[in-house]
Amino acid sequence: MEWLGHATTRFTHSPTPLSLKKNDGSSTDLLRVCEESTPPCRLNPLLFNGHLQTFKTAFEGDGPPVFYKRKVFEAEDPVYEGSFAVDFVVPPNTDVDESLPIRTTYFKDEEFDGLASLDIRPMLINLHGLSGGSYETYLKHVLFPLVQEHETRQWEACVIISRGCAKSKITSSVLYNARATWDIRQIVKWARRTFPNRPLYGIGFSLGANILTTYIGEEGENCLLKAAVVISNPWNLESSSLALQRTWLGREIYSKTMGTNMKRLVDLHQEQLRKNTKLDFDKLHEIKYLHEFDRVVQGPTWGYPTEGAYYRDASSSDSVFAVRIPMLAINAEDDPIAINEAIPYQEVKTTPYIVLCVTSLGGHLSWRELPGGGRWHARPAINFLNTMAFDIELPPPTMANGAEHARFGPEHTAEFFPMRRKLVYNTPRRFEAGVIV
């Protein structure tokens, strides 16, 4: 049946999924919500494997017409100084700014000053994939139906732009990295102050999914998001990198393309980045692949001795243990980038807060349905978010904090801290279990 595009769908979850109460007083649980949110996965039969599904993204059109206004924020955390951009979804308009991606313009000062609201619409905070932006079609297929005018179920939304991406400027001497949770933390806190009545939700795609999962783990029970969706999360970055290097397609197509995109990003912001004395631009121009980029740029920039050390420290697979909000994770078994062997199946089984949905087909951020159709991943994501926002009475988190650990029996003293990181900043900051506080 898979040759006809009929993918199988399986769910991995805790034996005791998180209990939930509906607004009508009836009971349900996270697994049931995820199952009911997930329609059959029927994909284009001509795109019968993950490579074909993923390759198709290079030849896609503009996608749904989502309009944005951009605001540049100055980082509040001195550890990650500089500025970053956020694109807010706005009503359709005829404004044009050639310096920004399609359908995106800057907020005028008076427009942004009047953005605060006491409305109760849910707000979705988005994180895009590596070197992407708010213009990505995989993202807009989720956003477009949610932000349409609707009597009772209209959403507000914004997309946090990774520094230097989507024609944003870099104003410090460093790029973003795979565990850069600083900008989303600032925006979530800003949104909580600016829209005090809006329930906040998160969604992340690919590298953005890795960052979002890490952020939620770092926040633990203090997370201000009500629920989240992560799509095509690479989870274990070292495993994914090694898998890309094993095959010709992985190395010469995927890794080379991603490495080229990141090199182009550095070239665009070379004036600022040359202020970082740890970067060797001669070596940078010689690299071909993503892992070489991470070795030459991300390692020296952030103090990692090798790209492997960076990957192990930035991976979100162990963050699963510290998640304390309902989360739906969607992956495809045939994803050539976020590979199946990197998916934390066993880890997910230990927590009631996450349900993992894995399809047998779909590729990376693809899941292309029949010609003229949409992207399948958008449908379970939209259904889950709408259910959580409008049908479920979400309970407050119950665990102590983001550094809560698993104990190996009452007679043992060994403890596991899922959010303890190896990278420590040499600044007078206080740490708890490796998390900057």
Catalytic residue selected from 183, 364, 366, 377? 364
Q: Looking at the predicted structure, is the pLDDT value of residue 281 above 70?
A: yes
Which pLDDT belongs to residue 266? Answer: 93
Write the pLDDT tens digit of every residue in 85-137: 999 999 999 999 999 999 999 999 999 999 999 999 999 999 999 999 999 99
CA–CA dist 195, 140 (Å, integer): 23
Q: Is residue 16 part of a domain?
A: yes
Which pLDDT belongs to residue 153? Answer: 85
CA–CA dist 333, 177 (Å, integer): 25
Q: Is residue 48 part of a domain?
A: yes
Residue 364 annotated in active site: yes
Q: Is residue 373 part of a domain?
A: yes
Neighbouring C-beta atoms of residue 134, cutoff 10 Å: 29
Catalytic residue selected from 29, 335, 360, 366? 335
Alpha helix positions (H), 199-280 = 207-219, 237-246, 248-249, 256-268, 270-273
Q: Is residue 414 part of a domain?
A: no
Q: Is residue 366 part of a domain?
A: yes
Which pLDDT belongs to residue 230? Answer: 98
56, amino acid identity: K
Which pLDDT belongs to residue 5? Answer: 87
Q: Looking at the predicted structure, is the pLDDT value of residue 241 above 50?
A: yes
CA–CA dist 329, 352 (Å, integer): 13
Over range 49-70, report the average pLDDT.
91
Q: Which domain holds residue 148?
A: 2-236+315-393
Can you state the angle between helices 182-194 and 207-219, rounded to 10 degrees?
Answer: 70
Residue 162 annotated in active site: no
CA–CA dist 173, 277 (Å, integer): 9
Q: Is residue 358 part of a domain?
A: yes
Q: Is residue 15 part of a domain?
A: yes
Catalytic residue selected from 206, 232, 315, 319? 206
Over range 405-434, report the average pLDDT.
55
Q: Is residue 387 part of a domain?
A: yes
Exposed/middle/buried for 17, CB within 10 Å: 0-12, 13-18, 19+?
Answer: buried
Write the pLDDT tens digit of every residue in 399-417: 433 344 433 334 445 566 7
Joined together, the tokens standing for residue 424 give: 């420590």
Which pLDDT belongs to residue 79? Answer: 79
- SS3 string, 152-187, reads CCCCEEEEEECCCCCCCCCCCCCCCCCCCCHHHHHH
Neighbouring C-beta atoms of residue 194, cutoff 10 Å: 13
Residue 206 annotated in active site: yes
Helix (H) or strand (E) segment spanning residue 310: helix 307-314
Neighbouring C-beta atoms of residue 342, cutoff 10 Å: 22
Over range 328-351, report the average pLDDT.
98
Contact present, 299 and 310 (Cβ < 8 Å): yes
- How confident is residue 235, by pLDDT bands cut at 50, 70 and 90? very high
Handedness of CA 372, 390, 223, 325 (dihedral sign): negative
Q: Looking at the predicted structure, is the pLDDT value of residue 435 above 90?
A: no
Q: Looking at the predicted structure, is the pLDDT value of residue 157 above 50?
A: yes
CATH of the domain at 220: 3.40.50.1820
Contact present, 423 and 313 (Cβ < 8 Å): yes
C-alpha to C-alpha distances, 169 to 83, 118, 207, 429, nearest whole angstrom: 8, 31, 20, 27
What is the pLDDT of the chain when averaged over all its residues? 90
∠ CA(35), CA(41), CA(356), 5° rounding?
45
- How confident is residue 149, by pLDDT bands cut at 50, 70 and 90? confident
* pTM for this model (two decimals): 0.92
Number of domains in the chain: 1
Joined together, the tokens standing for residue 94 give: 């005829």
